[in-house]
C-alpha cells in the first residue's frame, strides 16, 4: 500500500487530490498530523484500504521496502 498510517492527510491530499473526498466522507480533518493520531485504531485499516483503493494501490501493487 502506498498510503500508510504515519502519513498526514495534508500530504496525502497534496499528492493524491482525489483522496480529499474520503477524508470529507469520514469527517477527518485535512491537517498536518499523522492519520494514526486522527483516526480510531479500530477503523484505521478500513480508512487506509479506502484511501489506497482511491489511488489504485494495494499490497499487490507495491513491493516491500520501496
The domain segmentation of the chain, as residue ranges, is 1-66
**Three-state SS annotation for 5-45:** CCCCHHHHHHHCHHHHHHHHHCCCCCCCCCHHHHCCCCCHH
Report the predicted TM-score, pTM, of the whole model to 2 decimal places.
0.85
Contact 59, 1 (CB under 8 A): yes
Q: Angle at CA 59, nearest 5°, toward 56 and 65?
A: 115
- The tens digit of pLDDT for each residue in 24-54 reads 999 999 999 999 999 999 999 999 999 999 9
Sequence-ordered list of residues with C-beta below 8 angstroms from that of 13, at least 6 positions apart, any chain? 19, 20, 23, 30
Amino acid at each position: 500500500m502506498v498510503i500508510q498510517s504515519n502519513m498526514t492527510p495534508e500530504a496525502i491530499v497534496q499528492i493524491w487530490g482525489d483522496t480529499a473526498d474520503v477524508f470529507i466522507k469520514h469527517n477527518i480533518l485535512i491537517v498536518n498530523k499523522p492519520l494514526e493520531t486522527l483516526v480510531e485504531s479500530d477503523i484505521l485499516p478500513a480508512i487506509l484500504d479506502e484511501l489506497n483503493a482511491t489511488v489504485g494501490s494495494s499490497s499487490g501493487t507495491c513491493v516491500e521496502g520501496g
